[in-house]
Amino acid sequence: GDSVTQMEGPVTLSEEAFLTINCTYTATGYPSLFWYVQYPGEGLQLLLKATKADDKGSNKGFEATYRKETTSFHLEKGSVQVSDSAVYFCALSTGNQFYFGTGTSLTVIP
């Protein structure tokens, strides 16, 4: 069935370091792909999305490119800040179904 696999955490980085959180997917159709972010004590917020192959989603300095050939949607940011500390969820949608990864916790230290 359809599913999302993302890298296990937790991830700890120093401020201004480069971030990559890996996400791969399995889907029978042509899914839309998403990254959500959850700050401590909050619900999930949509960070970025891409709806077709080779699309790049971007927001707040984060980027992810929909790679059909590698079935991946890796999240990247060139220089993380302490305020980026949160849990990040990769997700896919195929029609009426939505699937979340298990989340990757990121802590950025000054």
Partner 1 sequence: DVKVTQSSRYLVKRTGEKVFLECVQDMDHENMFWYRQDPGLGLRLIYFSYDVKMKEKGDIPEGYSVSREKKERFSLILESASTNQTSMYLCASSLVPDRGYTFGSGTRLTVV
Q: Are strands 11-14 and 104-109 parallel, antiparallel or unpaired?
A: parallel
**Smallest distance from partner 1 to CB 32, Å:** 5
15 or 53, CB closer to partner 1?
A: 53
Token duo for residue 35: 């990254």
Mind giving me the DSSP string for 58-110? EETTEEEE-BTTTTB--EEESS--GGG-EEEEEEEEETTEEEE---EEEEEE-
User: By CB under 8 A, is residue 73 in contact with partner 1?
Assistant: no
**Smallest distance from partner 1 to CB 104, Å:** 10
19 or 103, CB closer to partner 1?
A: 103
Contacting residue, 44, 58, 67, 72, with partner 1 by CB under 8 A: 44
Contacting residue, 62, 66, 80, 103, with partner 1 by CB under 8 A: 103
Contacting residue, 12, 15, 46, 82, with partner 1 by CB under 8 A: 46
71 or 100, CB closer to partner 1?
A: 100
Break the chain down into helix, strand, coil percent, rounded to 5: 5, 55, 40
Which amino acid does the sequence have at 21? I
